[in-house]
Amino acid sequence: HAPVFETDRPKTVRLRLKAGDEVPAHSHPGFAIVFHVVTGRMELALDGATHEVAAGELLRFGGDRDISPRAPVDSTAVLVFAPAVDD
């Protein structure tokens, strides 16, 4: 993990995973998340359903969901955590 900007709102993180690495299931309540795969591909589990995300693709989802990214190959993603807005 590496921050992209020095400010914390919106928080932006670079996530590098080696082939076979994964991040345990967790959530980020209060945030909307943009998950953009820059290189490689990732399998992103959202509430138990797995979504394949290839380089150049992105997903947007609420941070209250359980997420767990896994890299079948060496991969890099950029995640943006923006404060959620109540409708």
Model pLDDT for residues 7-36, shown as the tens digit of each residue:
566 888 999 999 999 999 999 999 999 999
Name the token pair of 22.
Answer: 């994964």
Q: What is the pLDDT of residue 8?
A: 64
Q: What is the pLDDT of residue 7?
A: 58
- How buried is 67 (Cβ within 10 angstroms: 0-12 exposed, 13-18 middle, 19+ buried)? buried
Q: What is the pLDDT of residue 73?
A: 98
Model pLDDT for residues 31-69, shown as the tens digit of each residue:
999 999 999 999 999 998 999 999 999 999 999 999 999
- How buried is 69 (Cβ within 10 angstroms: 0-12 exposed, 13-18 middle, 19+ buried)? buried
Among residues 21, 15, 50, which one has the least CA distance to residue 36? Answer: 15
